Amino acid sequence: MTLPKGFGGGGGGASRADVEGMIGRRIENYTNLITLSYLGAFFATVFGTMVGYLYYPWAYASASGHFAMIVLTIVEALGYIFCVKVAEEGTTKKSNGQITVALVGTTIIMLYVALYVS
Query: Please, are residues 113 and 46 in contact by the beta-carbon 8 Å criterion?
Result: yes
Whether 61 is in a domain gets the answer: yes
Q: How far apart are CA 33 and CA 42, in angstroms?
A: 14
Would you tell me how many other CB atoms lie within 10 Å of the CB of residue 97?
A: 8
Parent domain of 59? 26-116
What is the number of domains present in the chain? Answer: 1
Whether 9 is in a domain gets the answer: no
Q: How far apart are CA 59 and CA 83, in angstroms?
A: 35
pLDDT band at 86 (very low <50, low <70, confident <90, very high): confident
Whether 12 is in a domain gets the answer: no
Whether 105 is in a domain gets the answer: yes
What pLDDT sits at residue 30?
Answer: 86
**H-helix or E-strand spanning residue 70:** helix 62-87
For residue 78, what are the CA distances in angstroms to 47, 60, 68, 72?
A: 20, 26, 16, 10
Whether 7 is in a domain gets the answer: no
Whether 65 is in a domain gets the answer: yes
N residues, the chain: 118
Reduce the DSSP state of residue 91 to 3 states and report it: coil
- Would you say the pTM of this structure is higher than 0.85? no
Query: Please, are residues 62 and 53 in contact by the beta-carbon 8 Å criterion?
Result: yes
Per residue in 98-112, pLDDT (tens digit) is 999 999 999 999 999
Whether 21 is in a domain gets the answer: no
Whether 13 is in a domain gets the answer: no
